[in-house]
Amino acid sequence: MSDFTSNFWEIYISGISLVGIAACLILLVVTGRMKAATASDNTTGHVWDGDLREMNNPLPRWWLYLFVITIVFSLIYLALYPGLGSFPGKFGWTSAGQHTAEVAKGEQETAPIYARFVSMKPEDVAKDAQAMAIGERLYSNNCAQCHASDAHGNKGFPNLTDGDWLHGGTTEKIKETLTGGRIGNMPPMAAAVGSADDVKNVAQYVLSLSGSPHDSTRAALGKEKFAVCAACHGPEGKGMEVVGSANLTDNIWLHGFGEKAIIEMVNNGKVNVMPAQSIANGGKLTDAQIHVLTAYIWSLSNKS
Protein backbone atom coordinates (compact mmCIF):
# COMPACT_ATOMS: atom_id res chain seq x y z
CA MET A 1 0.00 0.00 0.00
CA SER A 2 2.96 2.34 0.49
CA ASP A 3 3.24 2.66 -3.30
CA PHE A 4 -0.20 4.29 -3.37
CA THR A 5 0.08 6.53 -0.31
CA SER A 6 3.59 7.99 -0.76
CA ASN A 7 4.37 10.97 -3.00
CA PHE A 8 7.14 9.11 -4.86
CA TRP A 9 5.28 8.74 -8.13
CA GLU A 10 4.16 12.35 -8.38
CA ILE A 11 7.76 13.47 -7.81
CA TYR A 12 8.97 10.89 -10.32
CA ILE A 13 6.57 12.01 -13.06
CA SER A 14 7.18 15.70 -12.34
CA GLY A 15 10.93 15.11 -12.58
CA ILE A 16 10.61 13.33 -15.92
CA SER A 17 8.49 16.18 -17.30
CA LEU A 18 10.87 18.93 -16.23
CA VAL A 19 14.00 17.01 -17.23
CA GLY A 20 12.47 16.32 -20.66
CA ILE A 21 11.74 20.01 -21.23
CA ALA A 22 15.23 20.99 -20.05
CA ALA A 23 16.78 18.33 -22.30
CA CYS A 24 14.95 19.75 -25.33
CA LEU A 25 16.22 23.23 -24.56
CA ILE A 26 19.80 22.00 -24.10
CA LEU A 27 19.59 20.01 -27.33
CA LEU A 28 18.39 23.09 -29.19
CA VAL A 29 21.22 25.26 -27.85
CA VAL A 30 23.98 22.68 -28.38
CA THR A 31 22.95 21.74 -31.91
CA GLY A 32 22.60 25.43 -32.79
CA ARG A 33 26.27 26.01 -31.89
CA MET A 34 27.66 22.87 -33.47
CA LYS A 35 29.50 23.26 -36.77
CA ALA A 36 29.62 20.25 -39.02
CA ALA A 37 32.71 19.61 -41.11
CA THR A 38 31.90 20.66 -44.65
CA ALA A 39 33.70 21.12 -47.92
CA SER A 40 34.52 24.52 -49.35
CA ASP A 41 31.23 24.50 -51.28
CA ASN A 42 29.23 24.00 -48.03
CA THR A 43 28.32 20.39 -48.77
CA THR A 44 28.73 17.38 -46.47
CA GLY A 45 30.32 15.22 -49.14
CA HIS A 46 27.24 13.03 -49.58
CA VAL A 47 26.23 12.63 -53.22
CA TRP A 48 23.30 10.70 -54.71
CA ASP A 49 22.39 9.93 -58.29
CA GLY A 50 25.58 11.44 -59.53
CA ASP A 51 24.89 15.12 -58.86
CA LEU A 52 22.50 15.37 -55.90
CA ARG A 53 24.58 16.86 -53.07
CA GLU A 54 23.66 17.32 -49.42
CA MET A 55 24.10 20.93 -48.29
CA ASN A 56 24.85 22.02 -44.73
CA ASN A 57 22.50 24.99 -44.46
CA PRO A 58 21.23 26.04 -41.01
CA LEU A 59 17.64 25.36 -40.01
CA PRO A 60 15.16 28.09 -40.93
CA ARG A 61 14.67 30.68 -38.20
CA TRP A 62 10.91 30.10 -38.11
CA TRP A 63 11.49 26.43 -37.34
CA LEU A 64 13.78 27.27 -34.44
CA TYR A 65 11.32 29.82 -33.12
CA LEU A 66 8.53 27.20 -33.15
CA PHE A 67 10.77 24.89 -31.16
CA VAL A 68 11.40 27.61 -28.59
CA ILE A 69 7.69 28.46 -28.46
CA THR A 70 6.77 24.84 -27.67
CA ILE A 71 9.23 24.82 -24.74
CA VAL A 72 7.93 28.14 -23.39
CA PHE A 73 4.33 26.99 -23.85
CA SER A 74 4.96 23.76 -21.91
CA LEU A 75 6.42 25.68 -18.97
CA ILE A 76 3.53 28.16 -18.93
CA TYR A 77 1.04 25.29 -19.18
CA LEU A 78 2.57 23.46 -16.21
CA ALA A 79 2.44 26.70 -14.21
CA LEU A 80 -1.24 27.33 -14.96
CA TYR A 81 -2.67 23.78 -15.06
CA PRO A 82 -2.05 20.59 -13.03
CA GLY A 83 0.74 18.53 -14.47
CA LEU A 84 3.44 18.48 -11.81
CA GLY A 85 2.31 15.94 -9.28
CA SER A 86 0.02 17.41 -6.63
CA PHE A 87 0.64 21.01 -7.76
CA PRO A 88 -2.84 22.25 -8.80
CA GLY A 89 -1.63 24.98 -11.12
CA LYS A 90 -2.40 28.69 -10.91
CA PHE A 91 -5.94 28.24 -12.30
CA GLY A 92 -6.72 25.25 -10.05
CA TRP A 93 -8.44 23.51 -12.98
CA THR A 94 -9.70 19.93 -12.66
CA SER A 95 -11.68 17.76 -15.04
CA ALA A 96 -14.18 17.05 -12.25
CA GLY A 97 -14.60 20.77 -11.64
CA GLN A 98 -15.19 21.45 -15.32
CA HIS A 99 -17.74 18.63 -15.51
CA THR A 100 -19.59 20.03 -12.49
CA ALA A 101 -19.61 23.50 -14.01
CA GLU A 102 -20.91 22.23 -17.35
CA VAL A 103 -23.64 20.19 -15.65
CA ALA A 104 -24.67 23.24 -13.61
CA LYS A 105 -24.76 25.36 -16.77
CA GLY A 106 -26.89 22.77 -18.55
CA GLU A 107 -29.30 22.55 -15.62
CA GLN A 108 -29.59 26.33 -15.55
CA GLU A 109 -30.41 26.45 -19.26
CA THR A 110 -33.03 23.68 -19.01
CA ALA A 111 -34.56 24.82 -15.71
CA PRO A 112 -37.40 26.80 -17.37
CA ILE A 113 -38.40 23.73 -19.40
CA TYR A 114 -38.40 21.41 -16.40
CA ALA A 115 -40.24 24.01 -14.29
CA ARG A 116 -43.27 23.66 -16.57
CA PHE A 117 -43.25 19.87 -16.30
CA VAL A 118 -42.81 19.81 -12.51
CA SER A 119 -46.04 21.76 -12.09
CA MET A 120 -47.90 19.03 -13.99
CA LYS A 121 -49.03 15.59 -12.85
CA PRO A 122 -46.86 12.75 -14.23
CA GLU A 123 -49.87 11.39 -16.11
CA ASP A 124 -50.21 14.76 -17.88
CA VAL A 125 -46.49 15.00 -18.49
CA ALA A 126 -46.75 11.64 -20.27
CA LYS A 127 -48.99 13.31 -22.86
CA ASP A 128 -46.46 16.04 -23.66
CA ALA A 129 -44.32 15.20 -26.72
CA GLN A 130 -41.41 17.41 -25.63
CA ALA A 131 -41.38 15.88 -22.16
CA MET A 132 -41.43 12.36 -23.59
CA ALA A 133 -38.51 13.17 -25.89
CA ILE A 134 -36.54 14.36 -22.86
CA GLY A 135 -37.68 11.33 -20.85
CA GLU A 136 -36.51 9.00 -23.59
CA ARG A 137 -33.00 10.52 -23.47
CA LEU A 138 -32.96 10.30 -19.67
CA TYR A 139 -33.99 6.65 -19.92
CA SER A 140 -31.35 5.86 -22.55
CA ASN A 141 -28.58 7.45 -20.47
CA ASN A 142 -29.55 6.08 -17.07
CA CYS A 143 -31.82 3.03 -17.36
CA ALA A 144 -31.21 1.25 -20.68
CA GLN A 145 -28.00 -0.38 -19.46
CA CYS A 146 -30.07 -2.73 -17.27
CA HIS A 147 -33.60 -2.60 -18.63
CA ALA A 148 -32.54 -2.63 -22.32
CA SER A 149 -33.00 0.11 -24.91
CA ASP A 150 -36.56 -1.02 -25.62
CA ALA A 151 -37.36 -1.28 -21.87
CA HIS A 152 -38.24 -4.97 -22.22
CA GLY A 153 -35.65 -5.83 -19.59
CA ASN A 154 -33.03 -8.55 -19.32
CA LYS A 155 -32.65 -11.59 -17.10
CA GLY A 156 -32.74 -10.23 -13.57
CA PHE A 157 -33.92 -6.78 -14.69
CA PRO A 158 -37.68 -6.19 -14.98
CA ASN A 159 -39.59 -5.46 -18.15
CA LEU A 160 -40.97 -1.93 -17.82
CA THR A 161 -43.50 -2.21 -20.62
CA ASP A 162 -45.84 -4.79 -19.07
CA GLY A 163 -48.18 -4.49 -16.10
CA ASP A 164 -46.09 -6.62 -13.74
CA TRP A 165 -44.62 -4.39 -11.01
CA LEU A 166 -42.87 -5.79 -7.94
CA HIS A 167 -43.39 -2.60 -5.92
CA GLY A 168 -46.35 -1.13 -7.78
CA GLY A 169 -46.71 0.64 -11.12
CA THR A 170 -48.32 3.90 -10.05
CA THR A 171 -46.44 7.13 -10.73
CA GLU A 172 -45.92 7.54 -6.98
CA LYS A 173 -44.27 4.12 -6.67
CA ILE A 174 -42.16 4.58 -9.80
CA LYS A 175 -40.89 7.94 -8.52
CA GLU A 176 -40.19 6.35 -5.14
CA THR A 177 -38.15 3.63 -6.82
CA LEU A 178 -36.19 6.08 -8.96
CA THR A 179 -35.50 8.41 -6.06
CA GLY A 180 -34.41 5.97 -3.38
CA GLY A 181 -33.64 2.80 -5.30
CA ARG A 182 -34.67 -0.70 -4.25
CA ILE A 183 -32.99 -3.72 -2.70
CA GLY A 184 -34.73 -7.01 -3.45
CA ASN A 185 -33.75 -9.88 -1.16
CA MET A 186 -34.91 -13.44 -1.62
CA PRO A 187 -33.15 -15.36 1.21
CA PRO A 188 -32.04 -18.99 0.77
CA MET A 189 -35.02 -21.08 1.87
CA ALA A 190 -33.85 -24.66 1.33
CA ALA A 191 -33.31 -25.32 5.04
CA ALA A 192 -36.80 -24.04 5.88
CA VAL A 193 -38.46 -26.02 3.09
CA GLY A 194 -36.86 -29.32 4.04
CA SER A 195 -34.99 -31.94 2.04
CA ALA A 196 -33.80 -31.65 -1.56
CA ASP A 197 -36.85 -33.68 -2.54
CA ASP A 198 -39.09 -31.18 -0.76
CA VAL A 199 -37.44 -28.32 -2.64
CA LYS A 200 -38.09 -30.09 -5.90
CA ASN A 201 -41.73 -30.62 -4.96
CA VAL A 202 -42.10 -26.91 -4.13
CA ALA A 203 -40.56 -26.03 -7.49
CA GLN A 204 -43.18 -28.16 -9.23
CA TYR A 205 -45.94 -26.51 -7.20
CA VAL A 206 -44.65 -23.05 -8.16
CA LEU A 207 -44.75 -24.10 -11.82
CA SER A 208 -48.33 -25.25 -11.36
CA LEU A 209 -49.39 -21.84 -10.04
CA SER A 210 -48.77 -20.26 -13.44
CA GLY A 211 -50.17 -23.16 -15.42
CA SER A 212 -46.71 -24.10 -16.66
CA PRO A 213 -45.85 -27.73 -17.52
CA HIS A 214 -45.30 -29.56 -14.22
CA ASP A 215 -45.44 -32.88 -12.39
CA SER A 216 -48.88 -32.84 -10.74
CA THR A 217 -47.94 -35.50 -8.18
CA ARG A 218 -44.91 -33.59 -6.97
CA ALA A 219 -46.85 -30.31 -7.12
CA ALA A 220 -49.46 -31.74 -4.76
CA LEU A 221 -46.74 -32.78 -2.34
CA GLY A 222 -45.11 -29.34 -2.56
CA LYS A 223 -48.27 -27.38 -1.79
CA GLU A 224 -47.96 -27.87 1.96
CA LYS A 225 -44.28 -26.91 1.96
CA PHE A 226 -45.13 -23.75 0.00
CA ALA A 227 -46.45 -22.33 3.27
CA VAL A 228 -42.86 -21.28 3.98
CA CYS A 229 -42.87 -19.19 0.78
CA ALA A 230 -46.36 -17.81 1.39
CA ALA A 231 -45.03 -15.46 4.05
CA CYS A 232 -43.70 -13.25 1.26
CA HIS A 233 -45.45 -14.42 -1.90
CA GLY A 234 -48.88 -14.75 -0.32
CA PRO A 235 -50.96 -17.90 0.23
CA GLU A 236 -52.00 -17.90 -3.44
CA GLY A 237 -48.51 -17.01 -4.69
CA LYS A 238 -49.61 -13.69 -6.19
CA GLY A 239 -46.86 -11.73 -4.48
CA MET A 240 -47.03 -8.68 -2.26
CA GLU A 241 -46.04 -5.21 -3.44
CA VAL A 242 -45.33 -4.08 0.12
CA VAL A 243 -42.26 -6.35 0.23
CA GLY A 244 -41.61 -6.43 -3.52
CA SER A 245 -42.18 -10.17 -3.84
CA ALA A 246 -42.88 -11.64 -7.26
CA ASN A 247 -46.23 -12.86 -8.50
CA LEU A 248 -45.75 -16.59 -9.11
CA THR A 249 -49.07 -17.10 -10.87
CA ASP A 250 -48.20 -15.34 -14.12
CA ASN A 251 -45.72 -16.34 -16.80
CA ILE A 252 -43.17 -13.63 -16.04
CA TRP A 253 -39.94 -15.15 -14.76
CA LEU A 254 -37.41 -12.50 -13.81
CA HIS A 255 -34.52 -14.84 -13.00
CA GLY A 256 -35.20 -17.74 -15.32
CA PHE A 257 -37.92 -20.32 -16.03
CA GLY A 258 -38.19 -23.98 -15.17
CA GLU A 259 -37.59 -26.36 -12.31
CA LYS A 260 -33.82 -25.87 -12.30
CA ALA A 261 -34.09 -22.06 -12.05
CA ILE A 262 -36.66 -22.26 -9.23
CA ILE A 263 -34.62 -24.80 -7.25
CA GLU A 264 -31.54 -22.62 -7.60
CA MET A 265 -33.52 -19.64 -6.31
CA VAL A 266 -34.84 -21.59 -3.30
CA ASN A 267 -31.40 -23.01 -2.49
CA ASN A 268 -29.27 -19.90 -3.00
CA GLY A 269 -31.62 -16.95 -2.79
CA LYS A 270 -31.05 -13.74 -4.72
CA VAL A 271 -30.21 -10.11 -3.98
CA ASN A 272 -31.10 -7.51 -6.59
CA VAL A 273 -30.18 -3.85 -6.35
CA MET A 274 -31.83 -0.97 -8.16
CA PRO A 275 -29.53 2.00 -7.44
CA ALA A 276 -31.00 5.33 -6.38
CA GLN A 277 -31.06 7.87 -9.20
CA SER A 278 -31.62 11.02 -7.13
CA ILE A 279 -28.66 13.32 -6.54
CA ALA A 280 -29.68 13.52 -2.88
CA ASN A 281 -29.20 9.74 -2.61
CA GLY A 282 -25.98 9.46 -4.58
CA GLY A 283 -27.45 9.37 -8.09
CA LYS A 284 -27.15 11.84 -10.96
CA LEU A 285 -30.67 13.10 -11.56
CA THR A 286 -32.41 16.16 -10.16
CA ASP A 287 -35.92 15.99 -8.76
CA ALA A 288 -37.22 17.62 -11.94
CA GLN A 289 -35.49 15.05 -14.14
CA ILE A 290 -36.87 12.20 -12.02
CA HIS A 291 -40.35 13.70 -12.40
CA VAL A 292 -40.08 13.60 -16.19
CA LEU A 293 -38.44 10.16 -16.18
CA THR A 294 -41.24 8.87 -13.94
CA ALA A 295 -43.82 10.03 -16.48
CA TYR A 296 -41.86 8.40 -19.33
CA ILE A 297 -41.50 5.04 -17.59
CA TRP A 298 -45.16 5.09 -16.52
CA SER A 299 -46.16 5.73 -20.13
CA LEU A 300 -44.33 2.58 -21.29
CA SER A 301 -46.92 0.34 -19.61
CA ASN A 302 -49.86 2.71 -19.96
CA LYS A 303 -50.16 3.23 -23.68
CA SER A 304 -53.37 5.03 -24.56
In a domain, 200, yes or no: yes
In this prediction, residue 36 carries a pLDDT of 64
Does 2 have pLDDT greater than 80?
no
Residues 146 and 261 in one domain: no
Residues 158 and 288 in one domain: yes
For the chain, the domain total comes to 3
Residue that is last in its domain, among 80, 100, 119: 80
Average the pLDDT over 170-185 and give the result.
Answer: 96
Residues 136 and 122 in one domain: yes
Task: Report pLDDT digits (tens) over 23-69.
Answer: 999 988 888 777 766 667 777 777 888 778 887 777 788 888 999 99
Residue that is last in its domain, among 64, 80, 96: 80
In this prediction, residue 69 carries a pLDDT of 94
Q: What percent of the chain has pLDDT over 90?
A: 74
Residues 121 and 141 in one domain: yes
Q: Which residues pair with 52 in a beta bridge?
A: 48
Alpha carbon distances (Å) from 110 to 117, 119, 184, 288? 11, 15, 34, 10
Residues 269 and 293 in one domain: no
In a domain, 87, yes or no: no
pLDDT category at 1 given cuts 50, 70, 90 is very low
3-state DSSP assignment of residue 98: helix
Contact yes or no for 259/203 (Cβ under 8 A): yes
Residue of 248, 166, 164, 261 whose CA lies nearest to 208: 248
pLDDT category at 304 given cuts 50, 70, 90 is low
In a domain, 142, yes or no: yes
In a domain, 114, yes or no: yes
User: Which residue range forms the structural domain that includes residue 123?
Assistant: 108-181+275-300
Q: Please state the length of the chain.
A: 304
Alpha carbon distances (Å) from 165 to 50, 158, 171, 243? 87, 8, 12, 12
